[in-house]
Amino acid sequence: MTRTFEDFTTTNISIGSSISNNKTKTNPFLSRKFLFSLLLTILSFVLVLIGKLTPKEWTDFVMIVAGIYATSNVATKFAK
């Protein structure tokens, strides 16, 4: 069987992910980037609750995480 260019552009290739591309298109809250940023935010908040971070450090950290998340989303949109 000979593969055409369309076969490669329409095939969903997922490397190292249990979440397929079809699910992330229907539910944006299942993306790895979103889940990772949510996990970092929750873990850093726990550090504030136990006194390892100050609220100012938490705010700065969450702003950095949000910035990286937004930048990576824009970069993936332009890469397509």
Residue 15 has pLDDT above 70, yes or no: no
Supply the pTM of this predicted model: 0.61
Q: Are 45 and 58 in contact (CB under 8 A)?
A: yes
Query: Ranked by mean pLDDT, which of 19-23, 28-32, 46-50 comes out on top?
Result: 46-50
Residue 16, Cβ neighbours under 10 Å: how many? 5
CA–CA distance, 28 with 26 (Å, rounded to integer): 6
Give the number of domains in the chain: 1
CA–CA distance, 5 with 75 (Å, rounded to integer): 24
Domain of 50 in residue numbering reads as: 5-79
Q: Could you tell me which of 79, 46, 78, 76 has the C-alpha nearest to residue 61?
A: 46
Residue 60's Cβ-side half-sphere holds a number of Cα atoms within 13 Å equal to 5
